Amino acid sequence: MASPAASTTGIGARIPRRELKRLLAGHGRYIDDIRLSRMLHAYFVRSPHPHAKLVSIDVQRASRAPGVAGVLTAVEINPRCEPFVGVALHRAGHRSAPQRLFAAERAVWQGQPAAIVLADSRAEAEDAAELVEIEWQPLPVVADQFQAIAPGAPVIHHGMPDNLAFDFTLEQGEPAKAFAEADVVIEEELRFERQMAMTLEPRGLIADFNPSDGSLTVIHAHQSPFQMQEIFANYLGIPEHKVRVVAPDIGGGFGLKLNVHCDEIATVVASVIFGRPVKFCVDRLESFVSDAQARDHRIKCRIGCKRTGEITAMEIDDIGAVGAYGMPMRFNVAEGMMAVVMTGAPYLFNSYKARTRSVYVNKNLIGMYRGVGMPLACIVGELLTDLAAHELGIDTVEFKRRNYRPKSTLPCVTPGGQRLETVSFHECLERLVGLMDYDKLRREQRELRERGIHRGIGIGTFCEQTAYGPPYYGPSGAAISTQDGCTLRLEPSGSVRCLTSLTDQGQGTLTAVAQIVAETLGIPVDDVSVAGNDSAISTYGGGAWASRGTAVGGEAALRASTILKENILSLASAITQTPADELSLANGQVINSKTGLSVISLAEVGRIGYFRQDTLPKDFDVQLSVNASFVANDKPYYMANGVQASYVEVDTDTGFIRLLGQWAVDDCGRVVNPLLVDEQVRGGTVQGIGAVLFEECIYSEDANLLNGTMADYLVPMAYEMPDIVVSHVETPETSTRLGAKGIGEAGLIGAMGAVWVAVNDALRPLGARITHQPFTPERVLDALARAKLR
Amino acid sequence: MGDVELIGDEEVEVVATLNGKPLKRRAKARQHLADFLRQELELTGTHLGCEHGICGACTVLIDGRTARGCLTLTAQISGKSVETIEGLSDNGRLAELQQEFIARNAAQCGFCSSGMLLTAYELVQGGEKLSRSEIREHISGNMCRCTGYHAIVDAIEAVLAKGLR
């Protein structure tokens, strides 16, 4: 690698996402900004019932409405696509019913599509949709996880014995004995309501099937064009090399746009049937009833500790309501599995018992959303340890100092089976304590309590599995690539073109890739152009999801640029008759490594390499386009870690919670761009705060969504949010040359743990505890009222 | 059509000023301003995040004041002056804000940015000294799902500080 001084825009430089200049001038091209000629617009007719028999469907009137090209139902759509069976092959006993694109005889969730209307405009499609006449006969509903597993509960999927999708248990050490021997045992029941990813730009795609050559191009606001290429090819029966999926500018992903949504696949089917481009852009009201949702867990958990302060055992029993089916490609076991395998990972203890169950309910599917089950693990571990520390009369920071896994124990495998190699819990904690001035805040908290002001301090420690590798997804049977690739081409002018398999929904992955290439080749970042987001033109890869873009795609870029550097030096050596090992690259020049003086410019190397090969030795092989793919065959993930703190005030009269301060210290290995990383952390943190305080899909007892507008579903807005202090500890991943781990989900995970603990810390002197997320004012007041009754 | 009756499909004439230039068009009576800008004029810099007035992505300026493009019918702009992200970018009036936003990466996906910049523009036009909390309050009608707002507040603060020097 070039010396760090090679460029002020290379690795480590704080440069903004390079697309911003264009996006902030209104020159973005998001999915709904694109129109193709002869394009039809799609709108879906959905089940208004969580569970109902579809008695009859009549599309005659709708088909005659102005501008309508056609209305298709399960009869036309379903046979065109193989059913999805969202079963993870490596999870023994995991069960899911086959999922068809449209409800045929029965709808099993509110919002399940039953018909697609295709018209010349979206407005005409919506108007016509109102004319589709469906007779529904409501059926008994399974609304939540406890109802789902109760004896005699209606079974959602015929052919399955019950509503249980998955039941996993784990036991390490001797938990029964360890709990029996504990001096203090703390037990809690936690509840996490359903929420949404709520990208500001809803989902969308334009499917463009060309009937004359049988090719399919899909412009898809999706985080993984490769995943969708595979699905369109294999499920719709189109030769894979004739399928191209291209992502335009995307208005946020957060995992939502990684899921496989049946309405999106049906849009592609409609394009195949009509032989015309079809656009489907979800509007906000549709997003509430059709976007894959997240969370929905009930957790029982406990911790046992010795009076001396060490943890003897932890236990977690999770049950998640995963909706009506398993999410294709991503399953429905991930949230629960992540929760149980990650709980307590930062702490030293040997005895652990865990169980997670996924159960089907008559609700929309649970899909991928930032953090997956990791925030649940963080909350369980941090709430229990904080409560235990208090019970033992030990300050929570001191408790963490004593119980975190120290560097001297690494590498190790946690009781949950997590391999920790380069984590840095103590360094992160000490940095945090200094940043927030912990002792001062505790003093302030004590003083204010005497005046009836209830403030709380919470610390959220977490591990984060980032950048999954093939040992994680491979055995699941899903065709999900965890490799990424990079193609580089030296242009005759001496600038460089980079083509990556990555995508970018705002994180700045493509900027980080440009910095890595610029650094290695000793050129300014402005001399590197990066293209990605396209399944047809780059090497095969994964995309940007699961905090993987820079860690995996960045490593591929580093490897490709190292090869290109060697090739450039070899060519320069042939041109200048200087030994290649005496040459290096800096400031757009090939330089003499010893003197630092320019030997030849990259532009001159490019000119000769492309136009004057006649001046080179006869057998000299000029290769100025190079390619590298990267995946760690043996790594299930790169484990990142961090710790956050929240300072909150609870108004005990109104139940309102105010965030007064938020601090985040993260260790994502080598930081390629501190500005982008800081902003990832801040953005994730606010999503985490939103989850704990506001966000909830409110359902009635019979599974009807009650808050399907943004006026009723609260998200964090600027006024309620605090400033967020961010800092980094850098412990590089040792198995890659780049040394980067992921950062995308860290902010959310740590913030959720910190806010949970802080609010409960504030309520502690009042004898109240709140364990039902989100912590709405009503729930806060209920918790206070319960405490008074005690 | 027979059994299909549509309301609001009749057209109205709209005479207004758009980004400093005269505009004379016919528009569907039921079409909101953001759809009109995006679909009829291909000014796609104005985004739609909710279409029910909450998220602020569709914010435009009408006679210099921020307004929701999704809650304004096209017919309502007659006789008024409308400015969008395209116009205010082209004439350079957003340049300072854009520069400070970009310098801090005060946008990630960029989807909220048009609306956020216009809201910020209205604020900095006032030229008052404002606390971070006041800045936060003013932009609380614009949802950003990516940044966590901190950097946006920093950027607006920086522009306000320059104006006060």
Distance from CA of B109 to the nearest CA of A (A): 4
Rounded to the nearest 5 percent, the helix, strand and coil shares of chain B are 40, 20, 45
What is the number of alpha carbons within 13 Å of residue B59 lying toward its C-beta? Answer: 25
Are B84 and A26 in contact (CB < 8 Å)?
A: yes
- Residue of chain A whose Cα is closest to the Cα of B147: A683
Residues from chain B contacting residue A248 (CB–CB below 8 Å): none
Phi, psi of B83 (to 5 degrees): -125, 140
Distance in Å, alpha carbon of A723 to nearest chain B alpha carbon: 6
Query: How many Å lie between the alpha carbon of B73 and the closest alpha carbon of chain A?
Result: 15
Give residue limits of the domains in chain B: 11-84, 94-164
The answer to whether the CB atoms of B44 and A33 lie below 8 A apart is yes
Cβ pairs A/B, distance under 8 A: 195
Whether domain A372-467+636-789 has CATH 3.30.365.10: the reply is yes
Instruction: Name A209's Cβ contacts closer than 8 Å, sequence gap at least 6.
Output: A215, A216, A268, A271, A272, A275, A276
What's the average model confidence in pLDDT over A293-316?
97
Candidates 3.40.50.10800, 3.20.20.70, 3.40.50.12780, 3.90.1170.50; CATH matching A34-139+198-290: 3.90.1170.50
The domain defined by B11-84 folds into Ubiquitin-like (UB roll) (3.10.20)
Compare CB distances from A686 to B109, B132, B149 and report the shortest one's residue.
B149
B4 falls in which pLDDT band (50, 70, 90)? low
In chain A, what residues touch B111 (CB-CB under 8 Å)?
Answer: 28, 30, 199-201, 251-252
Nearest to A682 among B114, B132, B151 (CB): B151
The one-letter amino acid code at A730 reads E
Residue A332 tokens, joined = 């429905």
State mean pLDDT over B141-165.
93
- Written as one string, the DSSP assignment of A404-435 is BPPGGG-SEE-TTS-EESS--HHHHHHHHHHH
CB atoms within 10 A of CB A419: 14
> Nearest residue on chain A to B154, judged by CA atoms?
A723
User: Which residues touch A135 (CB under 8 Å, ≥6 apart)?
Assistant: A54, A55, A56, A57
- Say what the pLDDT of residue A196 is: 97
Q: Could you give the residue range(s) of every CATH 3.30.365.10 domain in chain A?
A: 4-28+483-630, 372-467+636-789
Closest alpha carbon within chain B to A33? B44
pLDDT digits (tens, 9 = 90+) for A638-660: 999 999 999 999 999 999 999 99
Mean pLDDT of chain A: 96
User: How many Å separate Cα A21 from the centre of its chain?
Assistant: 25
Residues of chain A above pLDDT 90, percent: 94
Shortest Cα distance from A28 to chain B (angstroms)? 7
CB contact under 8 A, A24 and B98: yes
H or E segment and range at residue A684: helix A674-693
Cβ–Cβ of A26/B107 closer than 8 Å?
no
Q: Is the dihedral of CA A737, A738, A740, A741 positive or negative?
A: negative
Nearest CA in chain A to B153: A718
Mutate to test the interface with B, among A21, A717, A743, A748 (most CBs of B within 10 A): A717
B31: nearest CA partner in chain A: A123
> So what's the ipTM on this one?
0.97
CB-based contact A679 B38, cutoff 8 Å: no
> B148 and A283 in contact by Cβ < 8 A?
no
Contact A682 B150 (CB under 8 A): yes
Query: Using omega within 30 degrees of 0 as the cis cutoff, is the peptide bond preceding A636 cis?
Result: no
From chain B, the residues in CB contact with A676 under 8 A are 105
CATH class given for the domain over A4-28+483-630:
alpha beta
8 Å CB contact of B133 and A676: no
Interface test with B, best of A19, A200, A676 (most B CBs within 10 A): A200
**Cβ-defined contact of A718 to B152 (cutoff 8 Å):** yes
Q: Read off the pLDDT band of A123 (50, 70, 90).
A: very high
CA distance A451 to A447: 7
Tokens 């910020």 sit on residue: B120
Read off the pLDDT of each residue in A347-357 and give the average, rounded to a whole number: 98
**What distance in Å separates residue A229's CA from the closest CA in chain B?**
23
In this predicted structure, the answer to whether residue A3 has a pLDDT above a threshold of 50 is: no
Percent of chain B predicted with pLDDT > 70: 94
Query: How many of the other CB atoms lie within 10 Å of CB of A273?
Result: 18
A747: chain B residues, CB-CB within 8 Å:
148
pLDDT band at B3 (very low <50, low <70, confident <90, very high): low
Whose CA is closest to A561, among A483, A511, A487, A622? A487
The confidence band for A5, taking pLDDT boundaries of 50, 70 and 90, is: very low
Mutate to test the interface with B, among A19, A20, A23, A24 (most CBs of B within 10 A): A24
Q: Is the pLDDT of residue A7 over 80?
A: no
pLDDT in tens, A188-229: 999 999 999 999 999 999 999 999 999 999 999 999 999 999
Chain B residues touching residue A30 (CB < 8 angstroms): 44, 47, 111
* CA-based nearest residue in chain B for residue A288: B50
> A777 near A654, Cβ under 8 Å?
yes
For residue range B102-122, what is the model confidence (pLDDT) as tens digits? 999 999 999 999 999 999 999
Sign of the dihedral through C-alpha A673, A675, A681, A684? negative
Helices (H), A393-508: 396-403, 425-436, 438-450, 470-473
pLDDT for B7: 65
Contact A17 B47 (CB under 8 A): no
* CA gap A669, A507 in Å, rounded: 17
Residue A450 CB contacts under 8 Å (≥ 6 apart), including other chains = none
Q: Which of B146, B152, B153 to mutate to test the interface with A (most CBs of A within 10 A)?
A: B146
Domain B94-164 listed as CATH 1.10.150.120: yes
pLDDT at A476: 86
- Region A755-777: what's the mean pLDDT? 98
Rounded alpha-carbon distances, angstroms, from residue A455 to A381, A572, A725, A767: 21, 65, 19, 14
A26–B105 CB contact, under 8 Å: no
Kindly report, residue by residue over A700-712, the tens digit of the pLDDT.
Answer: 999 999 999 999 9
Q: How many angstroms separate the CA of residue A333 from the nearest CA in chain B?
A: 26
Give CA angle at A583 (A578, A585), nearest 5°. Answer: 140
Residue range(s) of every CATH 3.90.1170.50 domain in chain A: 34-139+198-290
pTM over 0.95: yes
- What is the model's pLDDT at position B6? 60
State how far the Cα of A762 lies from the Cα of B116, in Å rounded to an integer: 34
Which residue from A16, A507, A710 is facing B102, i.e. has the nearest CB? A16
Closest CA in chain B for residue A714: B54
Average pLDDT over residues A87-113: 93
Residue A685 has pLDDT above 60, yes or no: yes
Q: What is the pLDDT of residue B2?
A: 44
In chain B, residues with a C-beta closer than 8 Å to the C-beta of A31 are: none
Quote the minimal CA–CA distance from A600 to chain B in Å: 34
Helices within A64-162 (DSSP H only): 74-77, 122-129, 145-149
What is the DSSP pairing of strand A496-500 with strand A484-490?
antiparallel
* Inter-chain CB proximity A24 and B48 less than 8 Å: no
